[in-house]
């Protein structure tokens, strides 16, 4: 908790310093001063706006996720399948050295996600569609992918990135609006307007800069997916099951998660352009996994299927868990 607060404060400090350097290099600070605007106050105001919303969303992420998809947390397993699911997530959590997350199941097409404000207080949810369409080793690979997100602190990382981008958007949208809504008086002094035209201009440029910021955020999100795939392969001892799971997702009907959660799903509906996609294409993910780690040799495969390793008993069961 203390490390997270320290990271938040450091990021805020770096953001303010970075924007301060940019406005000085571009001469924006002098122009704002001439216009009677304290750019430091504007910058602080933008940072508060930029980070507050992001962190409120993060702190409420588990509650919002449960409500939005109707996820039911497994507190006391009632079936063998639920016991298997809890056991598998528990083993993966131990391997990742994080506390056991809440485990939930929800009705929907093939997907899964992890969320939560802290590594040791996360939620990992899987859909009935995913459980019905995959074998246990494939489901385990998806769980390992989501556990890698938890281990890497991706939820907090994406929140920080979004907060940084929001700060830039809020600050520069107002700077541009100040410039476009000011005019010269008879004494050749610029006179700033703060009427409805100014506020309308702010909204327009927040949308335009927000689109540019989204491209940056989506790029970070795609990089995070590659890293989680590699983390899953590491937890599993090889990439084969993760590759198999991605292939199944490629031929399975998938519906998008709610907008606030889609970046944390195992898969998302491809956008018209990769620039606006939270996930790389499944083909690219499979290609990267295949190239980054060579397949296990036959000896290791035999050992794994016969019960060797932490997850050997699970790997040998090719049946569907929710049949």
When pLDDT is cut at 50, 70 and 90, the band that residue 1 belongs to is very low
C-alpha 74/C-alpha 76 separation (Å) is 6
Q: Is 102 a catalytic residue?
A: no
What does the pLDDT look like over 194-217, one tens digit per residue?
678 888 888 899 999 999 998 999
Nearest to 234 by CA among 145, 115, 110: 145
> Does the pLDDT value for residue 105 go beyond 80?
yes
Q: What pLDDT, on the 0 to 100 scale, is given for residue 60?
A: 85
pLDDT of residue 179: 79
Over the range 12-42, which residues count as b (16 or more CB within 10 Å of their CB) and which as e? Answer: beebbeebeeebeeeebbebbeebebebeeb
pLDDT at 258 over 90: no
- Is the confidence at residue 122, as pLDDT, over 90? yes
Residue 53 in this model has a pLDDT that exceeds 60: yes
**pLDDT band (50, 70, 90) for residue 184:** low
**Is pLDDT at 171 greater than 90 in this prediction?**
no
Question: From the candidates 80, 82, 102, 146, which is the catalytic residue?
Answer: 146
Residue 159: the pLDDT is: 85
**Predicted local distance difference test score (pLDDT) of residue 273:** 72
**What pLDDT shows up at residue 276?**
85
């Amino acid at each position: 908790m203390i490390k997270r607060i320290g990271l938040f404060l450091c990021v805020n400090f770096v953001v303010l310093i970075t924007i301060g350097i940019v406005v000085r290099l571009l001469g924006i600070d002098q122009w704002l001063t001439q216009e009677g605007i304290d750019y430091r106050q504007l910058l602080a105001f933008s940072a508060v706006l930029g980070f507050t919303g992001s962190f409120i969303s993060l702190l409420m992420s588990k509650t919002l996720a449960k409500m939005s998809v109707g996820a039911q947390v497994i507190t006391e397993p009632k079936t063998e399948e639920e016991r298997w699911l809890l056991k598998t997530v528990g083993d993966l959590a131990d391997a990742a050295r994080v506390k056991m997350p809440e485990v939930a199941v929800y009705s929907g097409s093939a997907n899964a996600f992890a969320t939560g404000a802290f590594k040791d207080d996360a939620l990992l949810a899987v859909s009935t569609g995913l459980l019905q369409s995959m074998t246990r080793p494939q489901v385990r690979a998806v769980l390992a992918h989501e556990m890698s997100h938890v281990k890497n602190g991706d939820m907090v990382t994406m929140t920080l990135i979004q907060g940084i981008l929001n700060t830039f958007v809020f600050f520069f949208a107002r700077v541009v609006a100040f410039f476009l809504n000011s005019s010269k008086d008879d004494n050749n002094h610029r006179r700033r307007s703060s009427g409805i035209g100014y506020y309308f201009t702010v909204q327009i440029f927040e949308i335009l800069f927000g689109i540019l910021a989204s491209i940056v955020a989506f790029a970070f999100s795609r990089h995070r997916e590659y890293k989680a795939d590699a983390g899953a392969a590491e937890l599993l001892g090889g990439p084969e099951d993760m590759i198999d799971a991605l292939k199944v997702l490629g031929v399975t009907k998938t519906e998008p998660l709610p907008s606030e959660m889609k970046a944390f799903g195992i898969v998302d509906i491809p956008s018209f352009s990769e620039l606006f996609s939270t996930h790389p294409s499944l083909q690219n993910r499979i290609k990267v996994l295949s190239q980054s780690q060579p397949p296990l040799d036959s000896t290791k495969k035999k050992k794994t299927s016969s019960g060797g390793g932490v997850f050997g008993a699970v790997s040998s069961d090719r049946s569907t868990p929710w049949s």
